[in-house]
Amino acid sequence: MATINDNLQTWSNYDWSQSGDEWSAGWGGTEYLWTCTILPRILPYLPLGRTLELAPGFGRWTQFLKDVSQELILVDLTERCIDACKARFAGAKNLRYFTNDGKSLDMIEDNSLDFVFSWDSLVHVEIDVLEAYLKQLAKKLKPDGVGFIHHSNLGRYCDQNGEVLVENAAWRAGTVTAEGFEAICASVGLCCIRQELINWNGLLLNDCISVFTPQGSKFDQPNQRWKNLFFGDESRRVRKIAEHYKGVENKQVVHQAGMGEWIGRITIAAQGRPVYIWGTGKVGSAVYYLLQELGIQAAGFIDSDVRKAGQKLMDLNIAAPDEAIGLVEDIFVVIGSIAYHQEIGNRLIEMGLKSIIDFDTIPYITKP
């Protein structure tokens, strides 16, 4: 669980030599991420009047928001980030800068904001911070104002004790879910009108983009929630464009590969067959949840460590390889391992199974 102080210490001491542009590598650069992924999602609300950007960092998105906003207010917990933005955008006349305590928006006038924006920042804050911000934004937004916030959905994959059951490589907040965000909005006089659940640097829908507005605004409507399992494919396509036309270096970038193609294969090959997941670590758990998103219920797990045979994971039995492959008729296996997928695949072939037809690996590779 990331506290406000954890975030303050992390981003105050972070190596900002690339101004945050390193996080745009999966798209081929910050300009490509903005133009091809963010801009189409906020286009219905442009041009903007008075905009609030929460947690701008070193201005990765500020450089674009300032040109589509009459006025842009930056609020960040980290004084170092605000100082960097002041220096970077010294020539811009439509910016205002504030540091806060990680929750307060007292510096913003009530009924004054047309748009609120945050991307790839509030994914690291827990539900108490989001609740504090939303309570205040209900007063700060104009009657037809709109908020666009990218936040965590990792809580979807936590157990009742709050333990994260899948890999959390991108330091997402474990107490936040799309449903929880929507519920807070409703409780403070806002309404979520759109939510896009996305898979950020992985298989699962660990992030969410929420669009919200005051209740009764001209944008008020029932929430439309989209489970976008193809978000990784989107970044991959954009990066290919950047590589081809801008000459972006074709370097090692870990990202999804062909989620759409994989979903098509898996839904056909697994139809009507008992599906087992080979791997009982956090990647195996992620595969379990991914199959659920596709409407496929796993029948059990397989682990190379025969000592785990007879144990349970996700209330499903763990079987030894020979037990599952030898006794389960017409089995289909999904390899739930990144590090050992080749070894497991070779073993399945030795056991008489055919690649793609009888088993498949997860759609996650290291580029190229």
- Answer yes or no: are the C-beta atoms of 153 and 209 closer than 8 Å: no
pLDDT digits (tens, 9 = 90+) for 32-54: 999 999 999 999 999 999 999 99
Number of H helices and E strands in the chain, helices first, is 12, 16
Alpha carbon distances (Å) from 220 to 40, 190, 204, 217, 223: 20, 9, 29, 5, 9
* Lowest-pLDDT range of 3-17, 153-167, 169-183, 299-313: 153-167
Q: How many of the other CB atoms lie within 10 Å of CB of 39?
A: 13
- DSSP conformation letters of 92-125: -SSEEEEE-SSS--TTSPTT-EEEEEE-SSGGGS
| Amino acid code (one letter) for 346 | N
Residue 248 has pLDDT above 80, yes or no: no
Q: Is the peptide bond before 143 cis (omega within 30 degrees of 0)?
A: no
pLDDT bracket for residue 364 (50, 70, 90): low
SS3 label, residue 200: coil
Residue 365 is predicted with a pLDDT of 47
pLDDT bracket for residue 161 (50, 70, 90): confident
Dist CA 324 CA 331 (whole Å): 8
Contacts of 17 (CB under 8 A, 6+ apart): none
pTM: 0.92
Q: Per residue, what are the HEC states of 247-314?
A: CCCCCCEEEECCHHHHHHHHHHHCCCCCEEEECCCHHHHHHHHHHHHCCCCCCEEECCCHHHCCCEEC
Which single residue is written with the structure tokens 């500020």?
A: 62
- Answer yes or no: are the C-beta atoms of 53 and 62 closer than 8 Å: yes
Mean pLDDT of the chain: 93
- 287 φψ region: left (φ > 0), alpha (ψ -120 to 50), beta (else): alpha
Percent of the chain residues past pLDDT 70, beyond the cut: 96
Which single residue is written with the structure tokens 């009657």?
A: 143
pLDDT bracket for residue 368 (50, 70, 90): very low
Residue 259 is predicted with a pLDDT of 81
Residue 90 has pLDDT above 50, yes or no: yes
Residue 121 has pLDDT above 60, yes or no: yes
Percent of the chain residues past pLDDT 90, beyond the cut: 84
- Half-sphere exposure in the Cβ direction for 186 (13 Å, CA): 10
Mean pLDDT of 295-302: 96
Domains of the chain and any CATH numbers: 4-232 (3.40.50.150), 257-367 (3.40.50.720)
Residue 250 is predicted with a pLDDT of 59
Long-range contacts of 306-315 (CB under 8 A, 24+ apart): 308/280, 313/280, 313/284, 313/285, 313/288, 314/285, 314/288
Residue 216 is predicted with a pLDDT of 98
Longest CA–CA span in the chain (Å) reads 72
* Lowest-pLDDT range of 161-165, 188-192, 303-307: 161-165
pLDDT digits (tens, 9 = 90+) for 320-341: 999 999 889 999 999 998 889 9
Contacts of 313 (CB under 8 A, 6+ apart): 280, 284, 285, 288, 301
Residue 366 is predicted with a pLDDT of 40
Paired tokens of 243: 């590589």
